[in-house]
Amino acid sequence: MQVTSLPLLSMLVAVPALGAVALWWVRAPERARQWTVGVTALTLALAGVVLGFFRTGAAGPQWVDAWGQVPGLGLELQLGVDGASVVALCLTALLTLGLVAAGPRQLLERRTLAVLLLTESATLGFFCAQDLALLTAFWVATLVPAWVLVSRNARAQPESRALLTFRTYMLAGTLPLLLVTALVGVLGWRSGVQAPWELAGLAARGVPGSWQPVVFGLLLLTACVRMAVVPFHSWLPVLMARGPFGLSLLLVNVHAGLFLLVRVVIPLVPEAWAAGGTMVVVVGLFGGLYGAVLALAQVDLRRTVGFLMVSQSGLMLAGLATMNEQSVAGVLLQSVATGVALTGLKLVVEVLGARTGTTDMTRLGGLVRKAPRMAAFFFLLSFASLGFPGTLSFVGEDLLLHGVLEAHPLVALPLLLTTAISAITLFRAFQKTFLGGVAPEQKLLLETVEDLLPRERVAALGLFALVFVGGLLPGPLLRVREHAVDTMVERVAAVRVHGFRWASFSSTSSASSR
């Protein structure tokens, strides 16, 4: 563990939250946006410092900020980063900056900007938390601002009543995590542990064997809801189409649900994860294929991108469940690639909707003549998200595919089919939106469409450049997470070698805690 005197991670988490509070005194809309861009840029710079000085291959968390315990509870106020989380910090900061800097002005009013900053702050805290109770608190905090804003929008707009499904799903995805946190605390107090929720201590002690299936099921439900894995996916396309700008991307594209599996589920209940691996693979593959088919059936570009995110979440869940070094490394790489590419694609779609007043493909067409840059970035970002050669997603999908082939050769067939359907979906969307004919009633409107503005071009070009450069030089990202990947795979492999003797594991865990 590397403890530092500079509380850099605490600053990283606090800066967006303080920026959101300061927006209360910034009344002018343009000033509010400029302030938010500055805050998110500073946050990205701090995250870049953490990544720049991260020591690859070192065991334990780094840049640790320890603020002591909460008296009477044993909750450790401790932040730190490891190989699994340090890249997620930069991804979260980058996506938030891109959304704020390039998002349509009319969608970024002061309340939405404050919610984006608060969500970013809580998400960064979630990735840094070294205590399960603190991690759970940040998990809840990521949802509260979105919950409030969505509820207000739903009350103000009767046509947005479907957005209330977001609250239902988020509640269903939070209660299981709260139950697990309470259960772990009770088990720790009974065994006399001073810090019952500390993640490192939890991984060393494990969960008693009789409780592993319960804890595994609850945490898997939590992660699947947050990742929008089928059948817990219907909130995401609705939020993408009708919800406040950017919230769906921050809740899904930073892949907090995937991190929960990597950081908590696998270390805490490795036997249950190994025993349920086949089931998780099936659920993930079905979700990936189902999401791709639903994306193909959509006519609204926002919902199309939403279902593509559902599909990618399913594939990443299946890849993680195969649990070999190639598949896990591919999943973590793919989470970055799709997070960046789909955010860029969503930005282009939102700009298109702001210019034309619709994202319905049946009402669009021929836009390449009036907005060639918009068409070019839509095309590039679409195929950057699908594993086009030379991009980071190509490297991630290649590793994922080889890992799946090694573990379950037949599983590779639906994976390839899912990718092919997604490619057809995006090519069809590009053709209908930018190359097709123009509907007579829309011809006058589309003749006045403005192409991407300079700030929008910079954001889209920057996001595509990251995916492209990452595809040419994926080594640094792989090395940063190499130790975390090896540790996870070895832990589950050891469990598989010794079998699933939960009863004996329970007695061993109880003895070690005493």
8 A C-beta contact, residue 313 and residue 280: no
C-alpha span between 95 and 29 (Å, rounded): 21
Dihedral through CA 244, CA 247, CA 249, CA 251, nearest 10?
-150
Question: What's the pLDDT at 195?
Answer: 78
Q: Residue 387: CB partners within 8 Å, gap ≥ 6?
A: 393, 394, 396, 397, 398, 419
Give dist(CA 432, CA 437) in Å, integer. Answer: 8
CA 42 to chain centre: 21
422 within some domain? yes
pLDDT at 340: 92
Backbone φ, ψ for residue 72 (5° rounding): 85, -15
pLDDT tens digits, 80-91: 998 889 999 999
pLDDT score, position 439: 64
For the ranges 161-175, 281-295, 351-365, 493-507, the lowest mean pLDDT is seen at 493-507
Q: Which contiguous run of DSSP H or E holds residue 80?
A: strand 75-81
Distance CA 79, CA 216 (A): 25
Residue 294 lies in a domain: yes
426 in a structural domain: yes
In a domain, 12, yes or no: no
Residue 334 to residue 312: CA distance in whole angstroms? 9
Arithmetic mean of pLDDT over the chain: 85
Domains of the chain: total: 1
Residue 432 resides in a domain:
yes
pLDDT of residue 442: 65
Residues 388-404, mean pLDDT to the nearest whole number:
88
CA-closest candidate to residue 312, choices 345, 290, 329: 290
In a domain, 449, yes or no: yes
pLDDT at 463 over 50: yes
pTM higher than the cut 0.85: yes
DSSP 370: T
Nearest 5°: CA angle at 315, between 313 and 316? 65
DSSP state of 324: S
508 confidence band (pLDDT: 50, 70, 90): very low
Question: Which tens digit of pLDDT belongs to each residue from 186-244?
Answer: 888 877 777 788 888 888 887 877 788 899 999 999 999 999 998 998 888 888 888 77
Instruction: Give pLDDT tens digits for 90-140.
Output: 999 999 999 999 888 888 888 889 999 999 999 999 999 998 999 999 999
Mean pLDDT over 152-175 rounds to: 71
Q: What is the mean pLDDT of residues 129-157?
A: 82
**Residue 161 CB neighbours (<10 A):** 11
**Reported confidence tier of residue 512, pLDDT bands at 50, 70, 90:** very low
Q: Provide the pLDDT for residue 499.
A: 56
How much of the chain, in percent, has pLDDT values that exceed 90?
40
**Domain with 384 in it:** 279-472
Region 383-390: mean pLDDT is: 85
Spatial distance between the Cα atoms of 355 and 80, rounded to a whole number of angstroms: 43
Phi, psi of 391 (to 5 degrees): -110, 165
Segment 421-445 shows an average pLDDT of 82
Sign, CA dihedral 33-36-42-48, equals negative
The radius of gyration of the chain's CA atoms, rounded to the nearest angstrom, is 22
Band of pLDDT at residue 157, cut at 50, 70 and 90: low
Mean pLDDT to the nearest integer, 249-274: 88
